[in-house]
Amino acid sequence: MHHLLNHLVNQVDYRQDELVDLLKELIQFKTPAPPARNTEEAQQFIDSFLQEKGLSTDKWDVYPGDPNVVGVRKGTHSDSHRSLIVNGHVDVAEVNEDEAWVSDPFTPFVRDGQIIGRGAADMKGGMAGALFAIQLLHDSGIELPGDLTFQSVIGEEVGEAGTLQCCKRGYKADFAIVVDTSDLHIQGQGGVITGWITVKSKETFHDATRKDMIHAGGNLFGASAIEKMTKIIQGLQELERHWSVMKSYPGYPAGTNTINPAVIEGGRHAAFIADECHLWITVHFYPNETHEQVAREIEDHIRAVANGDPWLRENPPVFEWGGSSMIEDRGEIFPSLEVDYDHDAVQTLIQSHQRVQNEAPTVDVSPSVTDGGWFGDAGIPAAIYGPGSLRYAHAVNEQVSIEQLVEYTKTLLTFIYEWCHTEKE
C-alpha cells in the first residue's frame, strides 16, 4: 500500500505544471464577493471536473448565480471504513478599481516562484490542490474503501455559508478538512457574530424642544437616541475589557475576543431630535464559546446599563443577531471550531504532514474565521488545513508559493488515502 502511495505522491512533482495550470484556470473565473452572484461558470467547471474523475455530483443554487457543487466518490467498503469531506469556497475577496495590482487580478502569472492572482492564497490554491489530488487518485485507478466527498461552496467571503447549506442538505462524514488559508498549520478557530443594537424613542420631538430636555426645569422627558447610544457603546467597551481580563484560550493572544462598534446610523435630519439609532457590532469569540452564549452575555450587560439610565429604562435597547448574508440582510455568523488533537483523523493528518514535510506541523488556532465552524456546529469533527498565508489573503497582488502548493497537495493526497483506508472502530 505504501509503495502505491509513494508513487501517487511522486506524481505531484512530475505533474507540477498541471497543478499550477489548474490553479491559474480557477483564478481566471471572476468570483469576487461582493458583488457575488457570479460563480455559475466556475462551479460548472468544477462540476464537470468532478464528473470526469468519476464522482457523482449535486449542483444547486444557494442564490441565483451562486450554486454549490458537491461531488461524492463512494468507497468500496463504506460500511467499514472512514469517510471524509474536503471543503473549500470558490468565492474570493472583492477587488477595488484603484488597487495597484501589477496586472489584471484575474489573469494569473508566475513570478519568483509565486502564483499571483486574486484567490491564489484565499483559497483557490487549496481548491486546486484538493482537485488535483482527486485527479491523481482517478488517473491511477485507485479505489478508496471509505467515502470521499468534495464540496465547492459559495458565500464564505460575505457570510452566506454555502457550507451550512451542505450540512442542511444532509452531507455528513467522519471528518471534514477545510482547505482554507492556514500556511499549512492545522487549525481550529474562534467565531464571529454580527449584531444590531437599536435605541428608539417612543416619541418624536422637534429640534427646538432640546432645551426643555437638557436644562433644569424643562420638564420634558425626552432624549437623543444618538446620545443614549454613546452610553451603550461605553457599556460595550467595559464588557470588552472585562472579557480581555477574564477570558483566554490556548494559542490566542490575550484580548482576541473583541466587540467592535463598526457602523452607526441614526437620526432623521437637523430639525429633529434623533428618535432612533442603530449600532452594528462585530463580536469575536473563542473556540470554546458559542455565538448564542456571547450574544446573551452582551444583552445581559447592556440591559443592566440601560436599567441604570432613567430614559433607557423606559426605552430599552433592542437586539438583532446574526444573519444569512452580509449582502442580503447585513449580518453573518461564523461558529467557532475546536480541534480535537487526539482525534484519529487529526493524528492521521499530523502524520501525513510529517511524512511529506519531514517535520511536525503546527497545530494552533486561526486568527481569522472560515466555514469550518459549521461542521463543528453540525457535530462533524473538522480542522482547517490549507496553503497560503493570511498576509497575502485579500491583499493586492495576492499570491501563493508553488513550492508550498506542491507540498500541500502531497500532504492532502496522503491524508485522503490514509484516512479513507482507516477502518471504523
Among candidate residues 66, 156, 160, 275, the one labeled active-site is 156
What grid cell was written down for 412? Answer: 492532502
Region of 209 (left: φ > 0; alpha: ψ -120 to 50; beta: rest) is alpha
Contacts of 424 (CB under 8 A, 6+ apart): 80, 81, 82, 174
Distance of alpha carbon 126 from alpha carbon 388, whole angstroms = 8
Does the active-site annotation cover 240? no
Query: Which residue do the cell numbers 501563493 mark?
Result: 400
What's the CA gap between 326 and 153, in Å, rounded? 16
Catalytic one of 47, 58, 91, 180? 91
Q: Among residues 360, 336, 338, 367, which one has the least CA distance to residue 411?
A: 360
Quote the cell numbers at residue 400: 501563493
**Closest listed residue to residue 352, CA positions, set 6, 3, 4:** 6
Which helix H or strand E contains 165, and what residues bound it?
A: helix 162-168
Question: Is the distance from CB of 147 to CB of 74 less than 8 angstroms?
Answer: yes
User: What sign does the CA torsion over 402, 47, 82, 286 have?
Assistant: positive
Residue 289 falls in the annotated catalytic set? no
> How far apart are the C-alpha atoms of 256 and 237, rounded to whole Å?
14
Alpha carbons 257 and 297: distance in angstroms, whole number: 13
Total count of residues recorded for the chain = 425
* Cross-strand partners of 423: 81
CB count, 10 Å around CB of 13? 11
Rounded to 5°, the CA angle 351-145-186 comes to 30
Looking up cell 444569512 gives 324
The DSSP 8-state label assigned to residue 424 in this structure reads P
**What whole-number distance in Å separates Cα of residue 310 and Cα of residue 314?**
7
Rounded to 10 deg, the angle between the 402-419 and 2-14 helix axes is 160
Catalytic residues: 91, 156
